[in-house]
Amino acid sequence: MPKKDKLALLGEYLRSVRNSANLTQEQLSDLSNVSIKHIADIEKGLKNPSFVVLQSLAKALDLSLDNLIGENLSVDEQGINQLKSYYLSCPPEMRGTPLNVVYTLTRELTELSKNSR
């Protein structure tokens, strides 16, 4: 079975993320200012999107650019990128709040895991 090319993989991933966000191509187009046809062609692996288009799509999907185009990112790397994206989307003066929530949740989950063993 032939290996899928990088554009086909990017297209599949973009479609998957868009569907997970419950967005139609039209809605993603509205959010990203990228035409519906262009999004459809990227998802089909027919278009090689420019850096600017990738940035617009990543922002609209609340992803980091490296998460959108990163080749073979582990689940942990994807999670770290997603957390970073959430952190950076907060107003700078409020970024301590998500850090405190993650810290508290991490402590509680670690303790819960220890107790369940």
Instruction: Encode pLDDT of 5-51 as tens digits.
Output: 888 888 988 998 888 888 999 999 999 999 999 999 999 999 999 99
Task: Single out the residue of 65, 58, 69, 67 nearest to residue 6, CA to CA.
Answer: 69
What ranges do the domains of the chain cover? 1-72, 74-117
Confidence of residue 79 (pLDDT cuts 50, 70, 90): confident
Single pTM value for the model: 0.63
The pLDDT of residue 108 is 94
3-state secondary structure of 10: helix
CATH superfamily of 1-72: lambda repressor-like DNA-binding domains (1.10.260.40)
The pLDDT of residue 72 is 63
